[in-house]
């Protein structure tokens, strides 16, 4: 419903701007000018709360269990969903955390051992729902961290108010508290506990992705991670420890992306997912801190991932390869602290192929 709320906000803003232009003469009358300012402030505050209102209107009913929504009605799925939700909520420092996680792992692995399609489907549905939930929480936590450190996207949110750039202090105050209310509503719904740290969520996402791969539904995790564009952007400026966790998760899912099914009817969709994965997360691989106490990835793992990246890039079309390699070259060049991943041989291979294509076309046309 994010699209619907933004569409309505845009429409309301246009209507308001048109009406406001016709009332510009109110600047000449102090009382009416103050009234106009009050209406403007109220309107902006309403717009800032609009996404939260849409979110609450679409939330599950009080008698619905959000942990089991969309994953079937069996006791097996409800049990696994409850365990994964508890694991998500309990802090790592609690002695109960490892007990809950071990039990969840035992039941998930037990379903795989049975080799029954019904149990595998339950695994996939429950794990996919848990992955999506944790992904949403991680993005919200990273956005909150960025906001506190001054690195959030307040400028983009402020675009809505550009027309009123010279507004009074009252309007500026409403804008500030409106943004705060917007973030509060968003974070309140997505980050359930203060101990749900971003680093914990990233580690749990890797665990969930590994279980999804074992259950044969890694494509779900790959697709969701490839589409997490905002998170990938936030990751470039987040703390080094969290960057390390995100590099591990990205490396695992890039490996899984290479193994995605290559059925004829799904080839285009598979290629698009790989493209999104590379365009989103390749900058982080170039810029991330490689670990202070210990390397995030071993030398062997880094060499292996370079080979996998080259294979994934080479499975794309020529123009797509150019886009990915141009992005890599930019970040590889401007990140002096790291010389990985080194895709120079892949770049040279693409350039040679592109030059051959150019000469072939030139020869045909002449």
For the chain, the structural domain boundaries read 2-60+148-190, 217-366
Indicate whether 26 pLDDT > 70: no
Q: What does the pLDDT average to over 286-301?
A: 76
Where b means 16+ CB within 10 Å and e means fewer, 96-135 reads ebeebbeebeebbeebeeeeeeebbbbbbbbbbbbbebbb
The pLDDT value recorded for residue 76 is: 87
Indicate whether 100 pLDDT > 60: yes
Give 116-147 pLDDT, tens digit per residue: 889 999 999 999 999 999 999 999 999 887 66
Q: Which of 40-49, 71-80, 320-329 has the lowest mean pLDDT?
A: 40-49
C-alpha dist (Å) from residue 197 to 122, 288, 295: 28, 19, 22
Contact 132, 208 (CB under 8 A): no
Q: What does the pLDDT average to over 257-269?
A: 70
H or E element, residue 148: helix 117-148
Q: What percent of the chain has pLDDT over 90?
A: 45
CA-derived radius of gyration, the chain: 25
The pLDDT value recorded for residue 284 is: 94
Give 74-85 pLDDT, tens digit per residue: 888 899 999 999
What three-state secondary structure class fits 266? helix
The pLDDT value recorded for residue 262 is: 55
Indicate whether 148 pLDDT > 90: no
Q: What does the pLDDT average to over 293-319?
A: 89
Contact 350, 325 (CB under 8 A): yes
List CB contacts of 288: < 8 A, sequence separation 6 or more: 235, 240, 243, 244, 246, 247, 296, 338
């Amino acid at each position: 419903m994010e699209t619907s709320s933004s569409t309505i906000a845009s429409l309301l803003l246009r209507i308001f701007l048109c009406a406001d232009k016709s009332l510009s003469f109110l600047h000449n009358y102090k009382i009416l000018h103050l009234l106009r300012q009050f209406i403007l402030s109220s309107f902006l505050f309403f717009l800032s709360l609009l996404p939260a209102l849409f979110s609450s209107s679409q939330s599950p009913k009080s008698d619905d269990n959000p942990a089991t929504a969309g994953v079937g009605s069996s006791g097996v799925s409800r049990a696994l969903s409850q365990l994964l939700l508890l694991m998500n909520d309990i802090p790592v420092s609690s002695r109960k955390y490892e007990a809950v996680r071990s039990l969840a792992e035992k039941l998930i692995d037990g379903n795989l051992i049975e080799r029954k399609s019904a149990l595998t489907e339950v695994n996939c549905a429950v794990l996919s729902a848990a992955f999506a939930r944790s992904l949403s929480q991680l993005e919200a936590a990273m956005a909150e961290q960025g906001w506190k450190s001054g690195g959030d996207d307040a400028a983009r949110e402020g675009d809505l108010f550009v027309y009123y750039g010279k507004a009074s202090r009252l309007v500026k105050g409403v804008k500030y508290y409106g943004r705060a209310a917007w973030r509060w509503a968003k974070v309140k719904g997505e980050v359930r506990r203060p101990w749900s740290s971003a680093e914990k969520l990233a580690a749990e996402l890797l665990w969930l992705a590994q279980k999804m791969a074992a259950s044969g539904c890694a494509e779900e995790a790959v697709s969701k991670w490839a589409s997490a564009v905002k998170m990938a952007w936030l990751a470039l400026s987040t703390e080094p420890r969290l960057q390390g966790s995100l590099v591990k998760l990205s490396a695992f899912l890039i490996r899984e992306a290479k193994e995605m099914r290559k059925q004829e009817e799904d080839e285009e969709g598979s290629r698009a997912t790989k493209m999104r994965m590379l365009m989103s997360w390749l900058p982080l691989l170039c810029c991330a801190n490689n670990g202070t106490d210990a390397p995030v990835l071993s030398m062997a793992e880094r060499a292996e991932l370079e080979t996998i990246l080259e294979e994934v890039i080479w499975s794309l079309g020529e123009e797509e390869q150019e886009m990915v390699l141009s992005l890599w070259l930019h970040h590889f060049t401007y990140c002096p602290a790291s010389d990985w991943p080194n895709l120079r041989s892949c770049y040279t291979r693409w350039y040679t192929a592109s030059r051959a294509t150019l000469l072939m076309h030139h020869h045909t046309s002449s």
